A = this chain, B = another copy of it.
Amino acid sequence: MKFNIALLAGDGIGPEVIEQAVKVSDAVAEKFGHEITWKPALTGAAAIDAVGEPYPDETHEICASSDAVLFGAIGHPKFDNDPTAPVRPEQGLLKMRKKLGLFANVRPTFVFPSLLDKSPLKKERIEGTDLVFFRELTSGVYFGEKGRKDDGNTAYDTNMYTKEEITRLARKGFEAAMQRSKKLCCVDKANVMETSRLWRETVQGMEKEYPEVEVSYEFVDAVAMRLVQWPKDYDVLITENLFGDVLTDEASVISGSMGLMPSASLGTSISLFEPIHGSYPQAAGKNIANPMATVLSAAMMFENFGLLEEGKVIREAVNKALAEGIVTEDLAEGGKAYGTKEVGDWLAKNI
């Protein structure tokens, strides 16, 4: 197969980790006879510096005309703690999500047996955890009407959802549940919010299409508790944008392997793949960042193209690297620490 992949390296450690994912993907392409054309484009603080805009039109055109987007990380300290600055990297992120129609953010949380000790949670609580969130990403309070009244002394945000938006997100969740253990949890706050009541009604209405899937409905506050208490109780979870923002970040802590967690954002025609970690500016340019989450994001990309074998060889290479201690300093535990580039080289060689 032939692919065009937009390559949005972004800020901080983004360029370094992306470089390794490209290396590994190229090795996979060679092994399986695919051809990947990488299309680099500017985003984040890097784009603001270059053209004054975090998601320039040119970048959008490159993304929209590609088969997928591989994304590094965005964010720079000079924009931190100034959420009122006129131009900020996150705005680019939101604009990109909306313009590319990336409506389903897929965030798996799973454990690597060799890394269980890194979790803040006790081993017996997390062993075997394997859950995945489907977070709605292009609606809700992120994109609803917001503003000020009374000379700026009153502020408001509107959370809004349509049945269609809920249905297409929920369908992704039901489909994933069918491939997994047929358990789906819809997370809402239906005892307080009207949008949540529409979520619940809509998902209830879809249950008959998936008679094998056992659906539960839980309140967001209860899930915030139970995720830490009994993460193994969950399998597929679906939720709205803001709840998903909070819960997927909370869940990412469970495994103790945050630096390894990939994600996908699925759209109707194009999808994006990125590590869940941030741009980690303190580590930028030092060849110390862990590239594995980005490499695993590339695995998700192949799998999303239906190329399951290609995804599998990447996952196997990562597992082998972990087992053999070919890891960056965050995982080295007193053993030898490899550089970002060296880990990438090793993975590419082991494809």
Residues of B within 8 A of A243 (CB): 246
Residues of B within 8 A of A94 (CB): 192
Asked if A179 is an interface residue, CB under 8 A from chain B, the answer is no
CA distance A164 to B151 in the complex (A): 13
Contact between B148 and A154 (Cβ–Cβ < 8 Å)? no
Within 8 A of B (CB), among A176-206: 189-198, 200-201
Q: How far is the CB of A14 from chain B (nearest CB, A)?
A: 18
Number of copies: 2
With beta carbons under 8 angstroms apart, the residue of B164, B201, B221, B252 that contacts A246 is B221
Residues of B within 8 A of A162 (CB): 150, 153-154
CA distance A332 to B155 in the complex (A): 49
Chain A positions near chain B (C-beta within 8 angstroms): 81, 83-84, 88, 90, 94, 120-122, 125, 141-142, 144, 146-148, 150, 152-164, 189-198, 200-201, 217, 220-222, 224-225, 228-229, 242-243, 245-247, 249-250, 252-254
Given A90-B191, A141-B159, A156-B159, A228:B146 Cβ within 8 A: no
CA distance A161 to B150 in the complex (A): 11
- Contacts A141-B192, A153-B198, A157-B193 aside, 12 further interface pairs with beta carbons under 8 A come to A84-B197, A120-B122, A120-B229, A121-B122, A154-B161, A154-B198, A156-B195, A157-B158, A158-B158, A225-B252, A228-B250, A243-B246
Among residues of B, the one whose C-beta sits closest to the C-beta of A161 is: B155
Q: How far is the CB of A142 from chain B (nearest CB, A)?
A: 6
Residues of B within 8 A of A252 (CB): 225
Contact between A156 and B142 (Cβ–Cβ < 8 Å)? no
Top-10 shortest CB links A-B: A83-B190, A155-B198, A146-B194, A224-B250, A221-B249, A156-B160, A155-B194, A153-B163, A155-B195, A157-B159
Given A141-B159, A156-B160, A247:B228 Cβ within 8 A: no
CA distance A194 to B84 in the complex (A): 10
Q: How far is the CB of A196 from chain B (nearest CB, A)?
A: 7
Among residues of B, the one whose C-beta sits closest to the C-beta of A196 is: B83
Among residues of B, the one whose C-beta sits closest to the C-beta of A151 is: B163
Residues of B within 8 A of A242 (CB): 189, 192
CA distance A260 to B198 in the complex (A): 36
Residues of B within 8 A of A125 (CB): 120
Residues of B within 8 A of A222 (CB): 249
CA distance A247 to B6 in the complex (A): 37
Contact between A228 and B253 (Cβ–Cβ < 8 Å)? yes
Given A122-B120, A154-B162, A159-B156, A148:B228 Cβ within 8 A: no
Residues of B within 8 A of A228 (CB): 120-121, 228, 250, 253-254
Given A155-B198, A162-B154, A194-B147, A247:B229 Cβ within 8 A: no
- A-B contact list, 22 entries, CB within 8 Å: A83-B191, A83-B197, A90-B192, A94-B192, A120-B229, A121-B121, A121-B122, A122-B122, A141-B193, A146-B195, A148-B194, A148-B198, A150-B162, A155-B195, A157-B160, A157-B194, A157-B195, A189-B245, A224-B246, A225-B250, A228-B228, A228-B250
CA distance A90 to B142 in the complex (A): 27
Contact between A81 and B217 (Cβ–Cβ < 8 Å)? yes
